[in-house]
Amino acid sequence: MKIVLFDVKSYDKKHFEAANKEFGYEITYYEPALNVHTAVMAKGSDVVCPFVNCTVDKEVIDILKECGVKLIAMRSAGFNNVDYNYALKNGIPVVRVPAYSPYAVAEHSFALLLALVRKLTHAYVRTREFNFSLSGLVGMDLHEKTIGIVGTGKIGRVAINIAKGFGMKVLAYDPYPADIAGVEFTDLDTLLRESDVVTLYCPLTKDNYHMINANTLEDMKNTVLLINTSRGALIDSEALLEALKEKKIGGAALDVYEEEAGIFYTDQSDEGIKDDVLARLISMPNVIITSHQGYLTEEALRAISQTTLKNIKDFEDGKELVNQVK
């Protein structure tokens, strides 16, 4: 099997090289993301491995088919960037890595929350300049505050356990509510209205695009802290920026951004960024943005490479594709 990885960084290559010792595949690593301009680079490959900011739409799938690609093996859990029905119609199944480390993402969301609530980014910059003043650094206890968990799948459940460790009251919303000790399931409106912290752990689907928008932001507490480590387009960024400017919410920490493709994972420090909404969000004192790094732990990278290659091996062997996106 000839495999081509798109949107590759040095840490991806390191882990795929290690995992491939067991499989011995011919792997080519490309830095550019997969899109309509780069798809032709897959020529002669059996499998393409895209990542979260690749575009795998109809046009790209047509090119991949012409190039002889037989399998799309996503290196991610999310698959909102792939037209998997169209791919399958064209005889190209799509597989993914449904679980690699829910701990990585859940822990990162709490790293963001703690940094936001205790103003760690400001404190860090101050002490580096030998400014030991505490003015403006007053935070808030998480203990006994209400956290609203949106999506109680693998990552959401890890987050629930972490929140319980802080002594928080846990409200949850999921279209498929589960029986989880110490968690009160409610509707989304109630969760948004009553929570001191709202944190998103659900996939992006056509039904929940901009689930956090001008209307829902209006209903939330004006001190609420909003955390998003799931997918950027769950939040209407322009509405979020307006709410922050009007002090309708207390702050936001985002690991994902709806227009992140082409910006996140790249160094733009020489040029600045053209996205005014993102630039303005970054400028707000009560906003923290990380560059879609929730998954980025050694454990998760190891699991991603191993599961991706195992998915490919199952395909090669004609076995059932247990991780197929359907």
Report the interface residues with ligand NAI, using CB under 6 A: 77-78, 99, 102, 105, 150-156, 173-176, 201-205, 208, 229-231, 255-256, 292, 294-295
Go through 241-260 and write b for each residue having 16 or more CB atoms within 10 A of its CB, e for each that does not. bebbeeebbbbbbbbbbbeb
Q: Which of 194, 231, 271, 320 is catalytic?
A: 231
Cβ at position 104, least distance to ligand NAI in Å: 7
What share of residues in the chain are helix, strand, coil (percent, to 5)? Answer: 35, 15, 50
Q: Which of 59, 260, 298, 316 is catalytic?
A: 260
**Cβ proximity to ligand NAI, 155 vs 241, nearer residue:** 155
Dmax (CA) of the chain? 64
**Cβ proximity to ligand NAI, 117 vs 159, nearer residue:** 159
CB-closest chain residue to ligand NAI? 153
- List phi, psi (to 5°) of 182: 75, 10
Please report how the helices 10-19 and 298-316 are oriented relative to each other, as an axis angle in degrees rounded to 10.
50
Q: Residue 81 and residue 48: Cα distance in Å, rounded? A: 14
Give the DSSP H/E element, type plus range, for residue 171.
strand 169-173
Quick check: is 143 catalytic? no
Sign of CA dihedral 292, 297, 298, 300: negative
In sequence order, what are the residues at sequence separation of 6 or more whose Cβ sits closer than 8 angstroms to the Cβ of residue 38? 6, 30, 32
**Cβ proximity to ligand NAI, 39 vs 79, nearer residue:** 79
Distance in Å from the first CA to the final CA of the chain? 23
Cβ at position 105, least distance to ligand NAI in Å: 5
Q: Residue 287 and residue 284: Cα distance in Å, rounded? A: 5
Quick check: is 292 catalytic? yes
**Cβ proximity to ligand NAI, 127 vs 205, nearer residue:** 205
**Cβ proximity to ligand NAI, 16 vs 173, nearer residue:** 173
Query: Which residue is it, tokens 């197929």?
Result: 324
| Nearest Cα residue to 45 out of 5, 85, 75 | 5
Which are the catalytic amino acids? 231, 260, 292
